[in-house]
Amino acid sequence: MAAKFFPTAQDAENAFYEAMESADLEAMMSVWAEDEDIVCVHPGGPRLAGAEQVRSSWRAIFAGGPGMRIRAVQRVAIANAMLAVHSVHEMITVPGESRPQPPVVATNVYLRTATGWRMIVHHASPAPAVAQAERPSTPAGPKLLH
């Protein structure tokens, strides 16, 4: 089977979320770079490094088959000729569940390769329960970087 070519980072991202919705492991792995330096962090999970760990994690996630609907919204993209970083909110719905899933904040990093744009990092975390606008204001103090 010929490798898929993603002419833009957005094309790779679209294919990533389509593969996730359809629970298609081969389509999912076609988005990832063929490199042992790839990294994936699922919400609440450990850091997975390398193609085998990433593939194994998606295989386990897809074992139940397709079923969820996922939309990437509020995308912020930073890019240059070789690297693109997308920050998105993943809105996930599961058919038959009465309550919506809590949103997930994800960072997707893409690298331009000889075979098109490929994902090298996917890091997803549960979004904070309280939106920034709803948080009580706090006195200004020193800002700390983490």
Residue 138 lies in a domain: no
Residue 140 lies in a domain: no
What CATH number has the domain bearing residue 100? Answer: 3.10.450.50
The Cα diameter of the chain in Å comes to 59
**Better-scored residue on pLDDT, 138 or 65:** 65
Residue 136 lies in a domain: no
Residue 101 lies in a domain: yes
**If you average pLDDT over every residue of the chain, what do you get?**
87
Q: What is the pTM of this model?
A: 0.84
Task: Check whether 31 has a pLDDT greater than 50.
Answer: yes
Domain span including residue 20:
9-128
d(CA 77, CA 98): 32
Number of domains in the chain: 1
Alpha-carbon distances, residue 114 vs 5, 7, 82, 86, 139 (angstroms): 9, 10, 11, 21, 51
Residue 145 lies in a domain: no
Residue 53 lies in a domain: yes
For residue range 71-83, list pLDDT tens digits in order: 999 999 999 999 9
The pLDDT value recorded for residue 39 is 98
Residue 114 lies in a domain: yes
Please report which confidence band the pLDDT of residue 135 belongs to, taking 50, 70 and 90 as the band edges.
Answer: very low
For residue range 84-134, list pLDDT tens digits in order: 999 999 999 888 888 878 899 999 999 999 999 999 999 999 988 744 444
The pLDDT value recorded for residue 66 is 82
Within 8 A by CB and 6+ apart from 11, the residues are 116, 117
Kindly state the DSSP code that residue 137 receives in the 8-state scheme: P
Residue 72 lies in a domain: yes
d(CA 39, CA 133): 32
- Please answer whether residues 4 and 30 qualify as being in contact, where contact means their C-beta atoms are separated by less than 8 angstroms: yes
The pLDDT value recorded for residue 9 is 97
